[in-house]
A and B are shown apart, each in its own frame.
Chain A
Amino acid sequence: QQPVQSPQAVILREGEDAVINCSSSKALYSVHWYRQKHGEAPVFLMILLKGGEQKGHEKISASFNEKKQQSSLYLTASQLSYSGTYFCGTETMDSSYKLIFGSGTRLLVRP
């Protein structure tokens, strides 16, 4: 049931782009993205709802393909502050309130 994230880890130079994918075996109602910096709590980035509504902040975007049950997070012109572990959390059609999180993608941005 846990969504599969890929890649597991990625190293970038400052200014490069990255894509993180999240794939579920179940029909999804929404996908949430969080970032956790080392030693800190996860912080909400973005939510994508079935039907196309998207909410988020910062210079990070995401897509949600309902048919493929997949979401992708796009980090463009990466900054040092983007380093951390990114988690997707999926809400399925048969589960209210709760999210199932993937195992995370570690991102390191180097100068």
Chain B
Amino acid sequence: DVKVTQSSRYLVKRTGEKVFLECVQDMDHENMFWYRQDPGLGLRLIYFSYDVKMKEKGDIPEGYSVSREKKERFSLILESASTNQTSMYLCASSLDNSGAAYEQYFGPGTRLTVT
């Protein structure tokens, strides 16, 4: 089974802190994604990566950056955390974007609270 793991289930940080959220997948997937999930808004894409060292902005990239130095690991960075970044963060991966292989596998999520 594909496994996507995230470094923390719960995280509490102070305003202005630099925050790292880590995601690791164990199935040699090409694509990796970071979403945030807020009530009533569904899943919104922050950034995604289709290859090592490659990244593309999603719909809400402001205030975030990402890093993908190795194929299995995709990090989300909040350079200076703010209270409006309090949310559930979900990482996902997919093999490629051709047909059945495109399904995304999600990690358990990190609930980040910024105080």
Contact = CB atoms under 8 A, between A and B. Distances in A.
Interface of A: 1-2, 30, 32, 34, 40-44, 47, 49, 53, 55, 87, 89, 91, 96-104
Among A1, A47, A102, chain B packs the most CB atoms within 10 A around the CB of A47
Contacts of A41: 4, 90, 106-109
A1 B43 CA distance: 13
Among A30, A32, A101, chain B packs the most CB atoms within 10 A around the CB of A101
B73 interface: no
Contact of B104 (A40, A44, A53, A103): A44
A2 to B, nearest CB: 7
A47 B43 contact: no
A97 B50 contact: yes
Interface string B24-67: 00000001010100001111110010100000101100000000
Interface of B: 4, 31, 33, 35, 40-45, 48, 50, 56, 58-59, 90, 97, 99-100, 102-109
B106 A103 contact: no
Contact of B100 (A34, A42, A55, A104): A55
B107 A98 contact: no
Given A98-B48, A98-B58, A103 B41 contact: yes
A98 B103 contact: no
22 contacts: A2-B42, A30-B102, A32-B102, A41-B4, A41-B106, A41-B108, A44-B104, A47-B99, A47-B100, A47-B102, A53-B99, A55-B100, A89-B104, A91-B97, A97-B48, A98-B33, A98-B48, A98-B58, A101-B35, A101-B42, A101-B44, A104-B42
